[in-house]
Structure 1
Amino acid sequence: MLKLPELKIEPASEGELELSGELSAGEFESFRAPALKTLGQAIKLDGFRPGHVPAEVLTQQVGEGKILQEMAEQALAELYPLILTERQIAALGRPEVTITKLAPGNPLGFKFKTAVMPEVKLGDYQTIAKKLNSADNTQAGAIEIKDEAVMKVLEDLRKSRETASHASHSHHEHAEGEKGDTPEDSPLGAAQGESSGSVKLELNDDFAKSLGQFETLEELKAKIKSNLETEEQLKQKDKKRVAIIEEVIKNSDLKIAAILVENEKEKMLAEMEGQIGQMGLKFDDYLSHLKKTRDDLKAGWDQEARQRVAFGLVLNEIAAREKIEAPAEELKNEVDYLKLQYKDIAEERLRQYAAGLIVNEKVFNY
């Protein structure tokens, strides 16, 4: 095992560290034999089987510089994870590697530049939450759902039922061969504003009963109003939560590495592609319609992606400080529920997603 060399660790750009040092000449030289073996397996020379070329012949063929380069690559590939483990550095992605010294009989000089999980210095999130919750409770009034909103839902429901009824009726007629053979018999041949073959549904008790769980139209209206109130309550709840986290972010010290933002953009792109697919559309066709590429979309998501990363970092840090976790039973139930909706996604990914949902909810309720 390599002996860890002396290191100089300095902050680089936002969310990145620069690790520099030298591997001793003796340690570096120990990689000559494996480097020669690797190069020997790749070269073809008349009279020698692959992997059986003598070191002297191989050195003459590829040159000392090529051998030193291979030695350096193997040495740094072994050294980098050792540095991360020994110094407890939570690195993200692949490092940028620079060889600063490379010569026979000398130490190997190196420099690693790597993105790291940022240290989150939280503001006083408990005080911020209490302050905003108090202000919200003072300003909050009763949720008022106007009759116009209820009627709009009723009208939309009536139209959708009419469309379904008309489609079923039209299909039946065509199947029997009774109508639809001439323009006059077709719905397309009807006068504008008419609906040939459709049934005009009235908003009355019979309409409410047709939905299967209501006896009167007033019961249906009451249920719609209740649902709209619940929906509005959830909107206000989410709005308050976003305001609290945004204020915590403003009062916290976050150094977000570029790679985290790029990774979040990839998640956003995957989410969009999934949503478009659920609509029965091809994502490439959707992009063609927008006259944009995937890179064009991601280029416009800088601020949103950075904000999403910041939200996640803050929520994770609060959960860690308060030792908030997802109980096994709740996690199992949530995963089982998600499986019904997302049948093509691996269970481990669903488990991670479910754990995040549960923990975040508990953070907000803390």
Structure 2
Amino acid sequence: MACVRKKKILRRINPLWKTKSGFLLEKLRNFRNMVFFRNMTSDIKKLSGSEVEVSIEVSAEEFEKYYKQSFEEASKNFSMPGFRPGKVPPEILKENISSEAVLKKTAEHTIQKTYFPVLREKKIEAIGRPEIFITKIAKGNSFCFKVKTAVLPEITLPDYKKIVLDTREKEEFTVKEDASEEEKGKMQQKKRMKILEAISDATEIDIPDIMIKAEKEKMLGELKASIENMGMKWEDYLAQIEKAEEELKKEWQKDAERRIRYGLILRELANKENIQASEEEVDADVEKILKQLSAAGSNASDIDTDYLKSYTYGMLRNEKVFQFLEIC
């Protein structure tokens, strides 16, 4: 007991305690990473359009470990007349559980366990939905797969402060004193979009196709939700405008690219100027949104709070970036 108390006191009075403790934890993490990555090899190949191809080979020993885990999971869910759950003999399990199904589950499990650690280790900021290709899979062998994914494009911002000043000189953003709040809001939005458009025109960004596809799907989802909120069926709407979903997506090409460009520029401006939304601000806004959704009859359990927090953070951060651009 005295020893524990002494350690607690040391933590308070000795600033080196935390340093030493942190150093040991870092060494432990490094050791675990070394052991983890020793069981696999990875290679990164840069492709055009801000895309990369990640090739990963997991050792036969490591893949066998994941196979056993997948087989155990399948065994727990397996039932057979005459046996209690979880009490079916191993030889019967092997005869009745599909090895192909276990192999498929093992592949999914292995990809989940290895792909993201490799991204972190290689410091790759992957975005969008990756395309996964299994190139080698067999029990008792190493497991190989490739992942094609988009990465955040590198952005070199222009002299945005000068662009803001030039835009102010060229454009007329004055509002009458007796203007309504709605008119003031519209003028502010016009001003912000003009500034962002000017910065975008002076910025080169190589947008990956995966990002454009994902943005079009997002736009499609937004339109569907809007139509359904109006009480109209999506199929009826398409019939009314005499267009298919693919036609709409083709028409949205420029809009999708513009939305992506603006989003990436705002993100880079926030990083450049160290503009962030605090956790307290995010939580307060999320709470308001949840209350509004609850009042509208939405079930709290149906709401993805992690996504809501991420979305709210982005909105608050972007608002702060616009406020910065208005005064810089």
SS of residue paired to 1:30: helix
Counterpart amino acid of 1:3?
A: F
Is there any run of 5+ residues in structure 2 with no aligned partner, and where?
1-31
For residues 243-300 of structure 1, give each alpha carbon's deviation from its aligned partner in whole angstroms, at most 9, with x where no partner exists.
443343343332323343344334434554565567x552534443222344443332
Q: In the alignment, which residue of structure 2 is the partner of 1:84?
A: 119
**Which 10-residue stretch deviates more, 83-92 or 325-334?**
325-334
Q: In the alignment, is the contact (CA less than 8 A) between 1:28 and 1:75 conserved in 2?
A: yes
Matches of 1:327 and 1:21 in 2, distance apart?
Answer: 38
1:258 aligns to 2:209 (yes or no): yes
Task: Measure how far apart 1:27 and its partner are.
Answer: 1.6
Q: In the alignment, which residue of structure 2 is the partner of 1:3?
A: 36
1:74 aligns to 2:74 (yes or no): no
**Which 10-residue stretch deviates more, 325-334 or 118-127?**
325-334
Task: Measure how far apart 1:356 and its partner are.
Answer: 4.6
Q: In the alignment, is the contact (CA less than 8 A) between 1:331 and 1:355 conserved in 2?
A: yes
Counterpart amino acid of 1:253?
A: E
1:282 aligns to 2:221 (yes or no): no
Q: 1:49 to 1:141 in 2, by over 3 A?
A: closer
Matches of 2:214 and 2:189 in 1, distance apart?
Answer: 25
Which one of 266, 269, 273 corresponds to residue 315 of structure 1? Answer: 266
SS of residue paired to 1:99: strand
Task: Measure how far apart 1:76 and its partner are.
Answer: 1.9
Task: Measure how far apart 1:310 and its partner are.
Answer: 0.6
Q: Mapping of 1:1-366 within 5 angstroms?
A: 3-4=36-37, 5-41=40-76, 51-61=86-96, 67-134=102-169, 136=170, 226-227=178-179, 231=183, 234-235=186-187, 238-239=189-190, 241-272=192-223, 281-282=231-232, 284=234, 285-326=236-277, 344=296, 348=308, 351-352=312-313, 354-356=315-317, 358-365=319-326, 366=328
Matches of 2:173 and 2:203 in 1, distance apart?
Answer: 31
Task: Measure how far apart 1:20 and its partner are.
Answer: 0.7
Identity %: 31
Q: In the alignment, which residue of structure 2 is the partner of 1:185?
A: none
SS of residue paired to 2:155: coil
TM score, norm. by length of structure 1: 0.59
Counterpart amino acid of 1:300?
A: E
Q: In the alignment, is the contact (CA less than 8 A) between 2:167 and 2:198 conserved in 1?
A: no
Q: 1:72 to 1:124 in 2, by over 3 A?
A: same
Matches of 1:258 and 1:42 in 2, distance apart?
Answer: 41
Matches of 2:174 and 2:116 in 1, distance apart?
Answer: 58
Counterpart amino acid of 1:99?
A: I
Is there any run of 5+ residues in structure 1 with no aligned partner, and where?
144-222
Task: Measure how far apart 1:311 and its partner are.
Answer: 0.7
Counterpart amino acid of 1:114?
A: T
Q: In the alignment, is the contact (CA less than 8 A) between 1:318 and 1:363 conserved in 2?
A: no
SS of residue paired to 2:325: helix
Matches of 1:86 and 1:6 in 2, distance apart?
Answer: 12
Q: In the alignment, which residue of structure 2 is the partner of 1:156?
A: none
Matches of 2:277 and 2:242 in 1, distance apart?
Answer: 43
Q: In the alignment, is the contact (CA less than 8 A) between 1:25 and 1:107 conserved in 2?
A: yes
Specify which structure has the higher proportion of helix: 2
SS of residue paired to 1:31: helix
Superposed CA RMSD in Å reads: 4.3
Q: In the alignment, is the contact (CA less than 8 A) between 2:126 and 2:152 conserved in 1?
A: yes
Q: In the alignment, is the contact (CA less than 8 A) between 1:29 and 1:105 conserved in 2?
A: yes
Q: Which protein shows a greater Rg?
A: 1
Q: 1:362 to 1:17 in 2, by over 3 A?
A: same
Matches of 1:72 and 1:244 in 2, distance apart?
Answer: 48
Count the aligned residue pairs: 281
Counterpart amino acid of 1:320?
A: N
